[in-house]
Chains A and B, each alone.
Chain A
Amino acid sequence: MNRYEFEDKISDYLDNQLNVSERKAFETYVQENEEAGELLSSIKNTVDLIKSQKSIKTSENFMPNLVDRVKMYKKTPVKSISSHQKNMIFGLSPMNSALMGAFIFSFVLLLLNIAPSGNSFFQSNIASNKKNMIEKPLSKPSSIPIDEVDFVSADSSKDTIKPKEKIKLGNKIKLVKNK
């Protein structure tokens, strides 16, 4: 046990709040440290002095005055619980219900702004169809001469298909198939 632990446990010791092992450790520390023993004794005397303080009492007029105040209270009209409840809206006071209504209204507005627009589903379908038309490869008929190759830019960045360009190769290029 160190000094800080000792000081933290002084009140517990004086009020018999320590268990057996804690009490033993505390008393061992006190026996080994004269200063700790003096502090403990001083605090005990202080607490005893405070506990022995004279108590004061209410005056003789206390009860008559209280009875008069109770009489006054009975004479003045008091809001009954039922009348108070009549002003409640869904269990809330008018002000609280107004605040709750404003909160709900703003929450709904926020949801409407975040939510996507209603026809977006159809727009996405149209976009996907266009994409399919662009990406569909064009089949090459087998009768087309090799030296006349149709170039079709299938992967153009533009959506429109470029017109076929016929390039005459002649004897410049010999393809494998000619062999």
Chain B
Amino acid sequence: MINQQSQSLYTPQQVMDKSFQFTDEELIDRFQNGDEQSYIELVTRYKDRLINFVFRLVNDRDQAEDIIQDTMLKLYTHKHYYKNIAKFSTWIYTIAGNFAKTELRKKKTRKVTNNSQLGPEDRDYDPPSNDPSPEKLVESEFINTKIHEAIEKLPEHFKIVTVLRDIEKLPYEEISNIVDVPLGTVKSRINRARIQLQKDLKDYI
């Protein structure tokens, strides 16, 4: 089925017209029953959200995209492992987070190059700025780089919850399910991470 429709499945204009009517849980249920268009819709909904999350963890855009590919492939191959007792977003974020943690562990055994050690032409993180003024453009890019470095400096368990809360804007309860720690611990980690970030960034705010 996917062979015949592969050329049209991933074209943005070919996305299901009525896809917005279905919740994530309804889409995964339809996918589990054989509807592969629902799979494409889920991928479309979550690929950009997940790459932001994973990128903050691994600090490498290409690697983050590979991890999201692995996550979406796992969604395809293990669709029946999802049970409707938790939110679909919790499940997919957990998969992506686990892949990211595995990659981080592998990184520890290899030489890690910090973003600050690279020249501007080598840096992966180069967010676009909408401000036309060159001076403000440089300043904005500079602050973004500093924020990115400050987040990168956080311990892994602080980084994950901070990204999920302040960048992905997930509720505390869902974060607690994703990282599998009590709600109080999530709140405590986020609080401590924010205090640490404030200390690192106070000169630039």
Contact = CB atoms under 8 A, between A and B. Distances in A.
Same complex for A and B? Answer yes
Nearest to B51: A58
A140 interface: no
A8 B188 contact: yes
A65 B198 CA distance: 40
A37 B50 CA distance: 35
A54 B127 contact: yes
A164 interface: no
B69 A55 contact: no
22 contacts: A8-B191, A12-B191, A17-B187, A42-B202, A46-B198, A46-B202, A47-B166, A47-B194, A50-B166, A51-B169, A53-B127, A53-B167, A55-B52, A56-B52, A59-B65, A62-B47, A62-B69, A64-B10, A66-B10, A66-B72, A66-B73, A70-B76
Main SS at interface, chain A: helix
Q: How large is the interface on A (under 10, 10 to 19, 20 to 34, 35 or more residues)?
A: 35 or more
Task: Using C-beta atoms within 8 Å of the partner chain, give the interface range for chain B.
Answer: 35 or more
Shortest Cβ-Cβ A-B pairs, 3 listed:
A63-B10, A54-B127, A11-B191
Given A43-B194, A55-B52, A50 B61 contact: no
Interface in B33-62: 40, 43, 47-48, 51-52, 55, 61
Interface of A: 7-8, 10-12, 15, 17, 39, 42-43, 45-47, 49-51, 53-59, 62-67, 69-71, 73-74, 78
A110 B3 CA distance: 61
